[in-house]
Amino acid sequence: MENDKVEYLPEDAWRQWHTELLQSTVNRVYERMPFYKKVLDEAGIRPEEIRSMEDLKALPFTSRTDLASNYPYGFFAVPLRDIVRIHTLGTSASTNPIVLGYTAQDLNNRKWLTRRFLVTCGVTPEDIVQICLDPGMAIPGQDLKEGAEALGALVIPPDPLSTKTRLQVLVDFKTSVLITTPSYARYLMRHLVQNGLPLASLSLKRLILVGETLDEETRREIELGLDMETRAGYGVSEATGPGLAYECPCKCGLHLSLDHIIPEVIDPCSGQQLGPGHWGELAITTVTTRSNPLIRFRTGDLTRLNIEPCECGRTTWRMAPVRGRTDGLLAIRGVLIDPADTSNLIAMWAGGKRLPFLMVLSDKDYLTRLELWIAINEEIFSGSLPHSTTG
Amino acid sequence: MLNIRNLHTKYGPISVIRNVSLHVDEGETVCLIGANGAGKTTLLLTISGLIKPSSGSIVFDGNEISGMRPERVVQLGISQAPEGRQIFAPLSVLENLRLGAFHRHGKNREENIARDLNEVFRLFPRLHEKREQMAGTLSGGEQQMLAIGRAIMANPRLLLLDEPSLGLAPRLVDTIMDTIKTLNNRGITILLVEQNAKKALKISNRGYVLETGRIILQGKSSELSEDSEVRRAYLGKDYKEISQRH
């Protein structure tokens, strides 16, 4: 179905389509992935028992730990020869990274989803799109670059440049759309003011904010400070990338890509599915992903769903902007950091010794910074610790 | 137009269709691909009422037709050109075609049937040439044309085609596929079952892949024809390697 039509399907068509997609996905993962065959067998669920969307809640969850513990290729539903790209993510509590593979079709889907997200946010082929994201957001950075290219815009991809150079590019290259995190947008805004650059002389007309929670206050501050419109996007690297949800001109929630995922909100403690309007953890079932299909993947992001059709005419469900995490991970400039990993890292430096530590988040010049305060003792100074296990 | 939900069909104790859900929108050509014994024909026979499902729902234009008698299904606007053609060999081509319209009634019955006969003959001039000939003496390709023509004589809105290319020479396969495209362009919605997945995907909008009675994949035909797994299993690319995964 054409991308522009699919967002406007009536409710009963969505119900039919989701039932079909959920059933074929469960059939496929059961046949192709030993991990899911095992967990479904253990839960006593046979694929043919999935009769409607209501049955989704009977299925077991998938966590980041499940992905990491199947390192490296245990979570692939297709032969390795069908995979054309691999990314690794180091956000799990396990020592192994998460390995994500993509078939050519998976990459194509990510590209077109990102393209749809950007088009809905008002990006046109006439735009000059600059992407400023930290290296930790390399995967969404690449997806955004490819999506913007697919719609025919001129793209300035993410580069490890200084803020001064980025600003120079912004001004001299006449950037019209900037894609960045809310915190970096505020940081840039401050630099623009500090350097006395007249905002009116910028070609910039729109900011697309990704990777972090976006509260109304921050948004208003950016929109007023830069005198331009902002739009928000939401993505999950493990699922379909940055085009997972995006804002239409109404800016009343982010439209979810229901043609590729089935979203639900659950109670993070009990795992119970929650109805529309209730805040809880977003769980995602991917229904078109060929390489790493996910059943009820727990994102750790706190949101709520609105299933009413939008004023813009789209019938796709909307999620509220993410307002926090449910799993203790810290989202800093779009990068997820697990305190357990930090503890492991300190222990490696300290020759296996577990040292008490504090993770302190500060907001210096609008840019979120993470400081690590480690409690040290005499052993550290005397050099009597066993040798560090890292290089 | 056609919405199937959680369909199960059994032959005795053996499940052949297991929890199949699919839909066909008005104006679409949708294909079902899968290996021999995957349940493709059984699915079509269940839709047209020749086999009763053990459970599930088949809704056509808002009417529940699951388990309905075949003649009633035909009256509602679904007709099928069966696998192996199943024409009446001792009857003439014309008689076979008129049988396709057996259920039609109303005051303009004869007029409408004559109009549709002309339509079939325009589509298949060979049938017109051989209209008085016994159907059993036709070539394989001509018999297939007759089977499709007979199904069209029922004036269907949804046409179910079961392996229309089976046993035909490559050039005739192309002719039949072109005809299916023409029928679709004239407003007939089509659900096509084909072992020739390549040809079927080429002329359809969407496809479903059936494996041991279950749908394991679906999507736009353009995507499915590029899918490595579909190419290996159903498009004749490295068939043996399907099992050599890990």
pLDDT digits (tens, 9 = 90+) for A121-149: 999 999 999 999 988 888 899 999 999 99
Query: pLDDT at position A159, please?
Result: 85
Query: pLDDT at position A151, please?
Result: 95
Question: Where residue B242 falls among pLDDT bands split at 50, 70, 90?
Answer: very low
pLDDT digits (tens, 9 = 90+) for A337-380: 778 778 877 877 777 777 888 888 877 766 777 888 888 777 76
Mean pLDDT by 10 residues, chain A (391 residues): 75 93 96 95 94 94 92 92 90 71 94 96 96 87 95 93 87 93 88 79 91 88 89 92 93 95 96 95 96 96 95 95 83 74 78 81 75 78 58 36
Please determine, for residue B244, whether its predicted confidence score (pLDDT) is greater than 60.
Answer: no
Please determine, for residue B78, whether its predicted confidence score (pLDDT) is greater than 90.
Answer: yes
Q: Which residues of B touch A17 (CB under 8 A)?
A: 23
With an 8 Å Cβ cutoff, the interface of chain B facing chain A consists of 3, 5-6, 8, 18-19, 21-23, 206, 208, 211, 214-220, 223, 226-229, 241, 244-246
Contact between B226 and A81 using a beta-carbon 8 Å cutoff: no
Contact between B19 and A73 using a beta-carbon 8 Å cutoff: no
Residue A245 sits at the chain B interface (C-beta within 8 Å) = no
To the nearest whole angstrom, how far is the Cα of A15 from the nearest Cα of chain B? 11
> What are the E-state strand segments in chain A?
83-89, 98-103, 128-132, 154-156, 177-180, 206-209, 229-236, 241-247, 254-256, 261-266, 273-274, 280-286, 297-303, 305-306, 318-319, 330-332, 335-337, 357-364, 367-374
Contact between B215 and A288 using a beta-carbon 8 Å cutoff: no
Residue A17 sits at the chain B interface (C-beta within 8 Å) = yes
Query: pLDDT at position A4, please?
Result: 64
Please determine, for residue B108, whether its predicted confidence score (pLDDT) is greater than 80.
Answer: no
The pLDDT of B132-160, averaged and rounded, is 88
Cβ-nearest to A28 among B3, B206, B216:
B216
pLDDT digits (tens, 9 = 90+) for B200-227: 999 999 999 999 999 999 999 999 998 8
Chain-centroid distance of CA A166 in Å reads 24
Q: What chain A residue is nearest to B25 in terms of C-alpha separation?
A: A13
The SS3 of residue A107 is: helix
The Cα A247–Cα A123 span in angstroms is 12
What lies within 8 Å, CB to CB, of A377 at 6+ separation is: none
The pLDDT of B122-137, averaged and rounded, is 87
If we measure between CA atoms, which residue out of B74, B76, B80, B41 comes closest to residue B62?
Answer: B76
According to DSSP, the β-strands at B63-64 and B55-60 are: antiparallel
Which amino acid makes up residue A134?
Answer: D
Tally helices (H) and strands (E) across chain A. Answer: 11, 19
Residues written for chain A: 391
Domains, chain B, in order of start with CATH, read 2-87+157-243 (3.40.50.300)
Please determine, for residue B236, whether its predicted confidence score (pLDDT) is greater than 70.
Answer: no
Q: Which residues of B touch A1 (CB under 8 A)?
A: 206, 220
Q: Which residues of B touch A28 (CB under 8 A)?
A: 216-217
Chain-centroid distance of CA A25 in Å reads 22
